[in-house]
């Protein structure tokens, strides 16, 4: 086991070291700079540099980041829960 091994917390949240959602889902511009718009529209940003497409809420950004972590973990050969 290495420090980059994905794992699940006791409450079932998937953790992938190096892939943390920045600012808890606050919006970032498509070039990665943090910004706040009245609409709330912006990209989710991962600590690895990954950016989502622009989305309208922190909730949606958290959801797509969770999917990003599952993809990263699966690509590492980790058995991701359904």
Sole window of 2-10, 34-42, 48-56, 74-82 interacting with Zn ion (rule: CB under 5 A): 48-56
Please, what is the minimum distance in Å from the beta carbon of residue 23 to Zn ion?
A: 14
Which of 19, 50, 25 is CA-nearest to residue 40?
25
Considering only residues 4 through 33, tell me which ones interact with Zn ion, judged by CB under 5 A.
19
Which residues contact residue 37 at a Cβ distance below 8 angstroms, ignoring those fewer than 6 apart? Answer: 27
> Using CB under 5 A, which of 21, 43, 44, 46 touches Zn ion?
46
Burial 49-61 (b: 16+ CB within 10 A, else e): ebbbebbeebebb
Sole window of 5-13, 32-40, 41-49, 51-59 interacting with Zn ion (rule: CB under 5 A): 41-49
> Using CB under 5 A, which of 50, 52, 55, 61 touches Zn ion?
50
Q: Which residues contact Zn ion (rule: CB under 5 A)?
A: 19, 46, 48, 50
């Amino acid at each position: 086991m290495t420090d980059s091994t994905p794992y699940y917390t006791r409450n079932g949240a998937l953790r992938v070291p190096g892939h943390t959602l920045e600012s808890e889902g606050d919006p970032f511009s498509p070039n990665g700079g943090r910004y706040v718009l009245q609409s709330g529209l912006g990209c989710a940003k991962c600590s690895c540099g990954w950016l989502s497409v622009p989305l309208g809420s922190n909730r949606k950004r958290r959801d797509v980041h969770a999917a990003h972590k599952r993809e990263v973990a699966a690509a590492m050969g980790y058995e991701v829960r359904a």
